[in-house]
Amino acid sequence: MSYLETLKTGKIPEKKPKTPKPTAYDRYMARKRPETIPRAARVSVTTPSGYNDVRMIVGEIKRNRGVVTDFKGVPPVTAQRLLDFLSGAVHALDGRIERIGDGVYLVTPKGVEIACAFPQADDG
Protein backbone atom coordinates (compact mmCIF):
# COMPACT_ATOMS: atom_id res chain seq x y z
CA MET A 1 0.00 0.00 0.00
CA SER A 2 1.41 3.36 -0.92
CA TYR A 3 1.50 6.57 1.07
CA LEU A 4 -1.30 8.13 -0.99
CA GLU A 5 -3.57 5.13 -0.50
CA THR A 6 -2.97 5.36 3.23
CA LEU A 7 -4.01 9.03 3.17
CA LYS A 8 -7.15 8.27 1.10
CA THR A 9 -8.37 5.24 3.04
CA GLY A 10 -6.97 5.99 6.48
CA LYS A 11 -5.83 2.37 6.84
CA ILE A 12 -2.34 1.82 8.12
CA PRO A 13 -0.77 -1.36 6.78
CA GLU A 14 0.53 -3.88 9.28
CA LYS A 15 4.28 -4.12 9.48
CA LYS A 16 5.91 -7.49 9.43
CA PRO A 17 8.25 -7.99 12.37
CA LYS A 18 11.85 -8.13 11.31
CA THR A 19 13.71 -11.23 12.34
CA PRO A 20 17.33 -10.31 12.93
CA LYS A 21 19.82 -12.61 11.32
CA PRO A 22 22.39 -14.03 13.73
CA THR A 23 25.84 -12.58 13.34
CA ALA A 24 29.03 -14.61 13.20
CA TYR A 25 29.59 -13.78 16.87
CA ASP A 26 26.08 -15.05 17.79
CA ARG A 27 26.72 -18.33 15.99
CA TYR A 28 30.11 -18.66 17.71
CA MET A 29 28.60 -18.05 21.17
CA ALA A 30 25.76 -20.49 20.49
CA ARG A 31 28.32 -23.24 19.85
CA LYS A 32 30.17 -22.41 23.08
CA ARG A 33 27.03 -22.43 25.25
CA PRO A 34 26.46 -25.66 27.14
CA GLU A 35 23.27 -27.51 26.25
CA THR A 36 22.47 -28.54 29.81
CA ILE A 37 21.72 -26.60 32.93
CA PRO A 38 24.48 -26.76 35.55
CA ARG A 39 23.68 -29.21 38.33
CA ALA A 40 23.92 -26.48 40.96
CA ALA A 41 21.13 -24.57 39.22
CA ARG A 42 18.66 -27.44 39.18
CA VAL A 43 15.59 -27.56 41.38
CA SER A 44 13.59 -30.75 41.96
CA VAL A 45 9.89 -30.94 42.77
CA THR A 46 8.78 -33.75 45.09
CA THR A 47 5.76 -34.94 47.03
CA PRO A 48 7.20 -36.87 49.99
CA SER A 49 5.11 -39.60 51.55
CA GLY A 50 7.53 -40.97 54.13
CA TYR A 51 10.90 -40.62 55.79
CA ASN A 52 12.75 -42.26 52.87
CA ASP A 53 11.50 -39.50 50.56
CA VAL A 54 12.64 -36.83 53.02
CA ARG A 55 16.05 -38.50 53.25
CA MET A 56 16.31 -38.24 49.45
CA ILE A 57 15.48 -34.52 49.72
CA VAL A 58 18.31 -34.10 52.24
CA GLY A 59 20.60 -35.91 49.80
CA GLU A 60 19.69 -33.38 47.11
CA ILE A 61 20.53 -30.53 49.50
CA LYS A 62 23.90 -32.17 50.21
CA ARG A 63 24.52 -32.13 46.43
CA ASN A 64 23.81 -28.35 46.35
CA ARG A 65 20.44 -28.65 44.63
CA GLY A 66 17.21 -26.95 45.63
CA VAL A 67 14.00 -28.88 46.19
CA VAL A 68 10.37 -27.79 46.15
CA THR A 69 8.39 -30.09 48.45
CA ASP A 70 4.62 -30.41 48.33
CA PHE A 71 2.99 -31.80 51.48
CA LYS A 72 -0.60 -31.29 50.28
CA GLY A 73 -1.37 -34.99 49.75
CA VAL A 74 0.10 -36.07 53.09
CA PRO A 75 -1.95 -36.33 56.31
CA PRO A 76 -1.31 -33.27 58.53
CA VAL A 77 0.30 -35.21 61.40
CA THR A 78 2.69 -37.03 59.05
CA ALA A 79 3.43 -33.83 57.14
CA GLN A 80 4.36 -32.06 60.38
CA ARG A 81 6.75 -34.84 61.40
CA LEU A 82 8.34 -34.95 57.94
CA LEU A 83 8.69 -31.17 57.94
CA ASP A 84 10.27 -31.25 61.41
CA PHE A 85 12.81 -33.85 60.26
CA LEU A 86 13.54 -31.88 57.08
CA SER A 87 13.86 -28.64 59.00
CA GLY A 88 16.41 -30.14 61.38
CA ALA A 89 18.46 -31.62 58.57
CA VAL A 90 18.44 -28.34 56.62
CA HIS A 91 19.49 -26.44 59.74
CA ALA A 92 22.39 -28.85 60.28
CA LEU A 93 23.51 -28.29 56.66
CA ASP A 94 23.20 -24.47 56.99
CA GLY A 95 20.50 -24.43 54.32
CA ARG A 96 17.21 -22.57 54.21
CA ILE A 97 13.60 -23.62 54.10
CA GLU A 98 10.93 -21.16 52.94
CA ARG A 99 7.18 -21.60 52.77
CA ILE A 100 6.05 -20.65 49.25
CA GLY A 101 2.46 -21.79 49.44
CA ASP A 102 -0.09 -23.75 51.41
CA GLY A 103 1.80 -26.95 52.23
CA VAL A 104 4.56 -26.16 49.70
CA TYR A 105 8.13 -25.40 50.80
CA LEU A 106 11.33 -24.45 49.00
CA VAL A 107 14.43 -26.06 50.50
CA THR A 108 17.79 -24.65 49.40
CA PRO A 109 21.38 -25.45 50.28
CA LYS A 110 23.89 -23.07 51.83
CA GLY A 111 24.88 -20.22 49.54
CA VAL A 112 21.65 -20.06 47.52
CA GLU A 113 19.80 -16.77 47.79
CA ILE A 114 16.01 -16.74 47.63
CA ALA A 115 14.71 -13.50 46.15
CA CYS A 116 11.04 -12.55 46.04
CA ALA A 117 10.16 -11.28 42.56
CA PHE A 118 6.79 -9.92 43.64
CA PRO A 119 6.95 -8.44 47.15
CA GLN A 120 3.72 -8.69 49.07
CA ALA A 121 1.93 -5.51 50.06
CA ASP A 122 2.14 -4.51 53.71
CA ASP A 123 -1.35 -4.79 55.22
CA GLY A 124 -0.38 -3.01 58.44
Tens digits of per-residue pLDDT, 12-51?
Answer: 777 777 777 888 888 887 777 665 555 556 788 888 888 8
Conformation bin of residue 43: beta by default, left when phi > 0, alpha when psi is -120 to 50: beta
pLDDT in tens, 74-122: 898 998 999 999 999 999 988 889 898 888 999 988 887 776 666 665 5
State pTM to two decimals.
0.60
Domains of the chain listed by start with CATH number: 39-108 (3.30.110.150)
Bridge-based pairing of strands 43-46 and 104-108 is unpaired
Q: How far apart are the first and last CA of the chain?
A: 59
